[in-house]
Amino acid sequence: MKTSFVLPTGIEPLTRHPNATRPGQKIDLHHSMCYGCGADAEVGLRIAVTAGEGLTATATMQVENWMQGGPGVIHGGVLSGAFDEVMGTVPLLLRRPVVTGHLAIDYAKPIPLGSTVHFGCEIIGGIGRKIYTRSYAHLGDPDAPVAGAHALFIVIDLEQHFADYRDKAVHPS
Ligand SMILES: CCCCCCCCCCCCCCCC(=O)SCCNC(=O)CCNC(=O)[C@H](O)C(C)(C)COP(=O)(O)OP(=O)(O)OC[C@H]1O[C@@H](n2cnc3c(N)ncnc32)[C@H](O)[C@@H]1OP(=O)(O)O
């Protein structure tokens, strides 16, 4: 798939944490009100990410009517959010919390409402606190991708990063 994302030189391989979620199990360490994965979010993508071998994962998302952009197809921003969620979850296999620094999406085909989008994702490697990932999406045939993505995630101190915002957090009612 065509992309203009350029990976920097000097990316080092990274290693799965020994206590990481086992292959085949859902990576389930985020909160229930998350727009990307939360079951209690008022509006959300409800993406389930499953750990794969090594530093890989898979995920699925149902394309619902509220996700419409162009007539009959998913909005590009919704797909972008889905890639962000999938790729942002995979660094948990390193047991390192991250936030998105840079996200790049390549749209290859329109995705119809009612589809199930399947995602594959892997961690390419890292440099210091920077973790690079890539992902692709298909509608059932992995040899026919409909979109791809690359991202840079930055490892954060979870407590410190959200310290000024926790009083604004929304909780399940
Ligand atoms: C929801 C979150 C929960 C997370 C916890 C639990 C995780 C559970 C999984 C859940 C899955 C969620 C998946 C969704 C994830 C989001 O959507 S997160 C929300 C969107 N992202 C944000 O809000 C981040 C906002 N930005 C920031 O807070 C700050 O810019 C950052 C990213 C923390 C970096 O700030 P900093 O710590 O001061 O570090 P800084 O020195 O600026 O940057 C570090 C390095 O990255 C480089 N860098 C930073 N930005 C860029 C860039 N855009 N391009 C290139 N290089 C960059 C810098 O140049 C620097 O490089 P070196 O000098 O080390 O070579």
Please report whether residue 28 resides in a domain: no
* DSSP one-letter string for 9-60: S-PBP----TTSPPTTSB---S-TT-TTT-SS-SS----EEEE-STTEEEEE
Q: Which residues contact 132 (CB under 8 A, 6 or more apart)?
A: 7, 8, 11, 123, 124, 125, 126, 150, 151, 152, 153
Average pLDDT over residues 38-56: 95
Question: What is the atom index within ligand 1 of the atom nearest the CA of 91?
Answer: 9
| Owning domain of residue 62 | 48-158
Pocket of ligand 1 (CB under 6 A): 30, 36, 84-85, 88-89, 92, 97, 99-102, 128-130, 152, 154, 156, 158
3-state secondary structure of 79: helix
Please report whether residue 120 resides in a domain: yes
Question: What is the atom index within ligand 1 of the atom nearest the CA of 128?
Answer: 64
Distance CA 133, CA 59 (A): 15
What ipTM was assigned to the predicted interfaces of this complex? 0.96
* Predicted pLDDT of residue 173: 84
User: Structure pTM?
Assistant: 0.97
* Predicted pLDDT of residue 31: 86
Residue 61 has pLDDT above 90, yes or no: yes
Q: How far is the CA of 102 from the centre of ligand 1 (A)?
A: 8
Percent over 90 (pLDDT), the chain: 97
Q: pLDDT tens-digit profile of 21-36? A: 999 999 977 789 999 9
**What percentage of the chain's residues is helix, strand, coil (to nearest 5)?**
15, 35, 50
pLDDT averaged over every residue in the chain: 96
Please report whether residue 64 resides in a domain: yes
- Say how many domains are in the chain: 1
Please report whether residue 124 resides in a domain: yes
